[in-house]
Structure 1
């Protein structure tokens, strides 16, 4: 590294962090690969015109696999390293895509989606960890939030591929898009070979010289003596030494005082991101607009695409300003707005809708009321915009930065597994819910958002602009229900303070840091 054009590219923190986000884009591809075929007659005929429950099970197969994949990261991320684990996720995705593309029945399709889900679960857990460990504090939120932006791009691009292929007659209308999903994964696995390993993982495995070189290339223009590089290097070494004295790396570490609280915060934030109702608007937006009275397959597809474009566009301000606005204000604003718009959708549906039949399915639908139909569409768009600019990016950034290194891979995997657990449950439950309790479904998710607001206000401390090591002091300062009281200067340290703390550990620091290398 440090020599030649390709080395300079691989040492640019923006390029390193953003390229890894292709792993997040795989999740977006999967969302559109399903939402885009729900009104496709060739898809319905090939897979036996699945009922609402059967379709929910097909969609839920992916997050079921993702749940298992996210838990695997606890072992893979520490054993193989962050970089190799990302590469592995891309290879697994290719296998899943092949099975989906060749599927001749529901069973084969479900197996393919489970394998693809395994890949998405691995990538969604390890990519934010990798990004948080290779970026400087001033841009960490921005780069980790690119994970969400890549998801929105995956949704958008795959949806337009589905839209274009919908004009093809026969099975090719859905098999071609499912086959093309392999291309980004191949690019991800091949491209990651050029990028560095996480410096924190390298130090943790006794490879300090490599770690210093990576930090210098990423944050110091190749100069290991710059203040930021030295500060980060010394902080990481000190933190690794301290954490090794705390005991072995195992799941029992997640139950220790101070850690369990953070595991709860990371897992609950991922839970709230799913319970926000975004799944309805992504997986099943066709059903939502059908219920609003939007008729015609072409018109429905166009209306859906507008929503996906907004999702991409409104994520950009969040990426740019997340390290300025802060995590707490974004989450609090987002949950209030999302709850409000979902309540409006439910209210309009309840007042003007009735039970009817659309495409041989029982649907709560609005007919003959153009104003409420447009109102529901607009509220749906505003809901998606609210999620995109707030909860979406922060739900990936926050869990990746609140854990100490000794448990980071495991804790993030647990948080991400929580995301997929609720994703699985909601993906399966929403179609039957819409066909049974109809508009009341929106009231349920609206209430979840208001509950999330209360939880976040009292229990989620701000973490913007701090190194991963300084965040330790943030959680040591605040109590469980006093997140809003934590001072902005808590945890701030100079290079001299860090070196002084390291010296206090004793003359045996270097010897203990070399334990793994000698093993």
Structure 2
């Protein structure tokens, strides 16, 4: 059977799984404010202006959080699926689950059915978000790993943008009163979101399995064949193929003495540092406040004076910014490394969060009952502060898109050795979804009760993550996945406290020589650098 060999095509196909997450974000955020959604799932009756109130604040938080709760569990389960069945089959199973969940959502007759469908969809998103970065990381060369794994985030942004406009177009179907609305307003986008999963499932049939997973299963002939296919351009004796094959063999030989990993083992002393880095990369990516902006952006713009279609269009601009501003990271991330985007991004996002808090807290007025009787729209800001609020929101999104957005998917697979990578990335991703779930339930109530202070909370989180990344997150760019293990343990597998994180550097030039087939030149360069003392051997 034909097998896809181009690494860009492999990455482009795999990250369709990320697009599913983006579809879910915008299918909910764009539909939240429509009369069709509010009336069909109405719990609050009809107000004096003749508008449906929709689900209560707590129930809406539960509907939103249902997907992320399912994603948390799906991410954890994906570790077992991936290690037992392979990265490729785990992704394919996720596609089938998404199709089932989307069908239930599209056919929802009540809130309970909607929540069940979103939980099932969450299972898929948890699997895809955990295992797609692992799959791509284990297939692509080191000097392109940041760019290609970062496509996961770009796919998410495209998913958000595409389905947002599909949802916006569908919002014009039928009337806009409690008596003439059409359920097609939400059934159309919820049905369309099945299409990418069908495409991904079909394309994955022709994708190669991860060569590193095959090696872990002692399937060395297949490992060599896949490496030859995707890195050797058909030449099994390619210097880069031989270099990688030897690296993988050495890694597997060191790991052969250990039994299959369990989640508990990730918290043993030899792994705890890496586990904490991977988990906090994903936790901080949620605590930036970005998904708050994505899920509940219509609340923010309503408080800045936008309503109806104007609100939806103004909100959509940030989705365009998200897509466009992810591109610089894809182009230059392997040059920038990982640490700089994390530190700079945290500083910028902190600045814009505090600016929003100042403008809303200093000039906003409290609206009893909320604008348009929506409790979450609890304040009104007008004039220059309203424009500033919108500008800082857009700048915040741009800052996230270039930094924490793509890096948070790239970084965790790089810090773990092969034996634990599947479950370790699954655990890290489950932390993402656990905090996403909590925020999805917390934020609507927070906007209703503490109002502008929500921005203060997320500003403080960004300050904490800036300090944390600067002190404890080492640089991994440009190294093979096997070489990164030497940053945390010696060649015998003994945990090693090496170079401080802030002194670590990327190794792009060295690996570029290897990929070109100049292995001897690369080894000489590495030796000369080590002798010069500019880069320490361990942890560098």
TM-score (norm: length of structure 1): 0.91
Q: What is the 5 A alignment of 1:114-153?
A: 114-153=119-158
Decide which structure has greater helix share: 1
Assess, with a 3 A threshold, how the Cα gap between structure 1 residues 285 and 400 changes in structure 2: closer, same or farther: same
Assess, with a 3 A threshold, how the Cα gap between structure 1 residues 481 and 433 changes in structure 2: closer, same or farther: farther
1:248 to 260, 272, 283: 260
Between 1:412-421 and 1:483-492, the stretch displaced more is 483-492
Deviations, residues 252-297 of structure 1 (Å, cap 9, x unaligned)? 4313333111110000110000000001110000011112222x21
For the residue of structure 2 that corresponds to 1:467, the secondary structure is: coil
Q: Tell me, yes or no, if the aligned pair for 1:66 and 1:117 is still in contact at 8 Å.
A: yes
Q: Tell me, yes or no, if the aligned pair for 1:292 and 1:349 is still in contact at 8 Å.
A: no
Corresponding residue for residue 346 of structure 1: 357
Corresponding residue for residue 49 of structure 2: none
TM-score (norm: length of structure 2): 0.88
Assess, with a 3 A threshold, how the Cα gap between structure 1 residues 490 and 171 changes in structure 2: closer, same or farther: closer
Deviations, residues 39-60 of structure 1 (Å, cap 9, x unaligned)? 1011011111112221111000
Assess, with a 3 A threshold, how the Cα gap between structure 1 residues 12 and 490 changes in structure 2: closer, same or farther: closer
Corresponding residue for residue 334 of structure 1: 345
Q: Tell me, yes or no, if the aligned pair for 2:477 and 2:507 is still in contact at 8 Å.
A: no
Assess, with a 3 A threshold, how the Cα gap between structure 1 residues 479 and 458 changes in structure 2: closer, same or farther: farther
Corresponding residue for residue 399 of structure 1: 412
Q: What is the 5 A alignment of 1:286-301?
A: 286-294=298-306, 296-301=307-312
CA distance in 2 between partners of 1:151 and 1:69 (Å): 18
Corresponding residue for residue 472 of structure 1: 485
Q: Give how far 1:247 is off.
A: 3.6
Q: Which runs of 5+ in 1 are unaligned?
A: 500-519
Corresponding residue for residue 159 of structure 1: 164
Assess, with a 3 A threshold, how the Cα gap between structure 1 residues 496 and 234 changes in structure 2: closer, same or farther: farther
Matched, 1:28 2:42: no
Q: What is the 5 A alignment of 1:19-58?
A: 19-48=13-42, 49-58=54-63
Q: Which runs of 5+ in 2 are unaligned?
A: 43-53, 175-181, 491-495, 524-540
For the residue of structure 2 that corresponds to 1:231, the secondary structure is: helix
CA distance in 1 between partners of 2:507 and 2:144 (Å): 19
Corresponding residue for residue 514 of structure 1: none
Residue correspondences, number: 491
Q: What is the 5 A alignment of 1:70-85?
A: 70-85=75-90
Corresponding residue for residue 229 of structure 1: 241
For the residue of structure 2 that corresponds to 1:206, the secondary structure is: coil
CA distance in 2 between partners of 1:132 and 1:240 (Å): 17
Q: Tell me, yes or no, if the aligned pair for 2:139 and 2:211 is still in contact at 8 Å.
A: yes
Q: Give how far 1:72 is off.
A: 0.5
Matched, 1:322 2:323: no
Q: Tell me, yes or no, if the aligned pair for 1:474 and 1:490 is still in contact at 8 Å.
A: no
For the residue of structure 2 that corresponds to 1:462, the secondary structure is: coil
Matched, 1:304 2:315: yes
2:434 to 417, 421, 430: 421
Q: Give how far 1:217 is off.
A: 1.1
Q: Tell me, yes or no, if the aligned pair for 2:79 and 2:422 is still in contact at 8 Å.
A: yes
Matched, 1:177 2:182: no
Q: Give how far 1:129 is off.
A: 0.3
Q: Tell me, yes or no, if the aligned pair for 1:31 and 1:155 is still in contact at 8 Å.
A: yes
Corresponding residue for residue 364 of structure 1: 378
CA RMSD of aligned residues (A): 2.0
CA distance in 2 between partners of 1:348 and 1:332 (Å): 25
Assess, with a 3 A threshold, how the Cα gap between structure 1 residues 34 and 199 changes in structure 2: closer, same or farther: same
Deviations, residues 138-169 of structure 1 (Å, cap 9, x unaligned)? 10111110000000000000000000000001
Corresponding residue for residue 200 of structure 1: 212
Q: Give how far 1:400 is off.
A: 1.2
Q: Give how far 1:241 is off.
A: 1.3
CA distance in 1 between partners of 2:265 and 2:5 (Å): 33
